[in-house]
A and B are shown apart, each in its own frame.
Chain A
């Protein structure tokens, strides 16, 4: 009897979300925002992050541990996924910019947002709700709900407002510390006792199937194929991370704009605007010295998008943000997306 009462009450949120927010502005159907179980902040965000040096990071991180890495104005920081999996959001200030590092393990979506919206500084927490099986955040001042995958307010005062996305890397610790030995790494001293090092999602990342229904199942790629996604209003295009890794460089057109993708290290891809002096450069990879050469001037470029040799020496490509996650998530949020081939 008690179980039946619990059953009814725990499934009430499915209806009450729609009821509670009925009067609120919203841009997605309210009945598609469902409770994951825990209350808001049941999975606590990290709001006062502490950092270690790479040497201290080596004490708890193995070479194959994945990190979300950012470099803003020379302030370089790594956020291990083994910590993010228990918190999903880190509210931080990096290089003078207030940012939120977010991670949804189920969709493998990592995203870094600027927390400043219309000159208001927001702090994000986990709402305990899901939209399309993806993390729904809330901001602690207006209590608006935000979809991580969309990077947009979906219910409340900020519904329809997009967050500014910032470029980031997902990298193996081995590669990250080699590229950025001066990097800081998020400390396990988060203020919450969590079993860091144990991944509660087990073999979920390596099994091909998912255990929950998705709104738009697209079989063009494997459900858990990691894709890099670009979107612009009604346009969206996905690139298999494996393709970028294999080809090292992809010169492509997206919505009539040139884009370039570089990859020099496993699971690490970067997107650049190849426009320099009004000219869209086309790149090729140099196997000999692990750099890129533009076909127009023959200048050499590094992974940071900086020309290190040739007529373009000193020029810097503009790095652009992108979405990254499992294919099933990208296809659910972008039905009809194009796929690079």
Chain B
């Protein structure tokens, strides 16, 4: 019982750290790319414009890391390392990247205007127009994928916990008989 509590606590700690790192990294990128604004103004603007994205990403990642670590402590691997990590981190990058597009109005001649102007050399002009016009839905699509991964992990963890619980009951019954 005690070890399960400590496993949960450790997993929670890691989840909180991962969630915080996600949010802090996002906000640092905002500060770096808007040198014309005082730190506080840049942070306020980022939270005002993309608060839902930042908070949801941080929570989703935090929960995912918590579940992955808790699952590991129980001896089950609920997050497929290759697919899970690659899928999740590319979705975070996608979601963050598109949400950064909304930061263009933070400064005339700003960093994001420069980055957006380079898109046609990578994606071509026509596709870049689509990416810019639909940046908001695309950022939410990225967020949806991240949350979905977390949801799948939660379902997997629940199943594993049920299996463990079932195993415990069976052992108890066989011991009784």
Which A positions have Cβ atoms within 8 angstroms of B? 3-4, 6-7, 10-11, 13-14, 34-38, 42-43, 86, 88, 104-107, 126-130, 133-135, 192-202, 204, 210-213
Contact = CB atoms under 8 A, between A and B. Distances in A.
Nearest to B124: A193
Interface string B91-120: 000000000011011111111111011011
Given A88-B109, A106-B107, A130-B107, A200 B116 contact: yes
A134 B120 contact: no
B32 interface: yes
A3 B136 CA distance: 25
Nearest to B126: A195
B36 interface: yes
B108 A107 contact: yes
B114 A37 contact: yes
B109 A198 contact: no
Contact of A43 (B28, B34, B48, B113): B113
A34 B135 CA distance: 28
A86 B107 contact: no
B117 A194 contact: yes
Contact of B107 (A36, A196, A199): A36
A133 B36 contact: yes
Contact of B108 (A10, A14, A36, A198): A36
Contacts of B29: 3
A199 B109 CA distance: 14
B25 A3 contact: yes
B169 interface: no
B87 interface: no
Contacts of B107: 36-37, 106, 130, 133, 212
Interface residues of B, number: 42
Chain B residues touching A, majority SS:
helix
Contacts of A34: 35-36
A195 B132 contact: yes
Contacts of B41: 212-213
A7 B32 contact: yes
A211 B107 CA distance: 9
B161 interface: no
Nearest to A126: B109
A6 B28 CA distance: 9
B74 to A, nearest CB: 34
Nearest to B29: A3
Contacts of A196: 125, 129
Nearest to B37: A212
B125 A200 contact: no
A37 B120 contact: no
A92 to B, nearest CB: 20
Contacts of A195: 116-117, 119-120, 125, 128-129, 131-132
B107 to A, nearest CB: 5
Nearest to B132: A198
25 contacts: A3-B29, A3-B32, A7-B31, A11-B35, A13-B35, A34-B35, A35-B35, A36-B108, A36-B111, A38-B110, A38-B111, A88-B108, A107-B108, A130-B36, A193-B121, A194-B120, A195-B119, A198-B132, A198-B133, A200-B132, A201-B104, A202-B135, A211-B49, A212-B41, A212-B107
A194 B26 CA distance: 27
A256 to B, nearest CB: 35
Nearest to B49: A211
B110 A211 contact: no
A47 to B, nearest CB: 16
9 A-B pairs with least C-beta separation: A37-B111, A198-B132, A195-B128, A204-B105, A106-B108, A36-B109, A211-B45, A198-B129, A38-B114
